[in-house]
Amino acid sequence: MGKRIGLLTSGGDCAGLNAVIRAVVRRAHHGYDFDVVGIRKGTHGLLARPVEVEELKPEHDDTALLRLGGTVLGTTNKGDPFAFPMPDGSLKDRSEEIVEGFHALDLDALIGVGGDGSLKILSRLALQGGIPFVGIPKTIDNDVARTERAVGYTTAVATATEALDRLQPTAASHDRVMVLELMGRDAGHIAIAAGVAGGADVVLIPEITWTLPTVARHVKDLRVAGRNFALVVAAEAAQPAGVDSDVIQAAGGVGHWLAVELGRVTGAETRVTVLGHVQRGGVPNAEDRLLGSALGVHAVDLVAQGRTGRMVAWWNREVIDVPLEEVVAVPSVVDPHGPLVRTARGLGICLGDTL
DSSP for 13-51, written as a single string: --TTHHHHHHHHHHIIIIII--EEEEETTTTHHHHSSS-
Shortest CA distance to 235 belongs to which of 340, 329, 314?
340
Residues of the chain with pLDDT under 50: none
* CATH architecture group of domain 4-152+284-315: 3-Layer(aba) Sandwich (3.40)
Place domain 155-280+336-346 in its CATH homologous superfamily. Phosphofructokinase domain (3.40.50.460)
Question: What pLDDT is stored for residue 354 in this prediction?
Answer: 73
**Of all residues in the chain, what percent are helix, strand and coil, respectively (each to 5)?**
45, 20, 40
Q: Where are the beta strands (DSSP E) in the chain?
A: 4-9, 35-39, 53-56, 84-85, 91-92, 109-114, 133-137, 176-182, 202-204, 230-235, 269-274, 310-315, 318-323
Tell if the pTM clears 0.85, that is, is over it.
Answer: yes
The reply to whether domains 4-152+284-315 and 155-280+336-346 share a CATH topology is: yes
Question: What pLDDT is stored for residue 355 in this prediction?
Answer: 58
Of 141, 201, 288, 301, the catalytic one is 141
Q: In terms of residues, how long is the chain?
A: 355
Per-residue buried b or exposed e for 211-234, using 16+ beta carbons within 10 Å of the residue's own CB: ebebbbebbbebbeeeeebbbbbb
Say whether 88 is catalytic.
no
Shortest CA distance to 230 belongs to which of 185, 274, 178, 267?
178
Question: What pLDDT is stored for residue 86 in this prediction?
Answer: 95
For the chain, domain boundaries: 4-152+284-315, 155-280+336-346
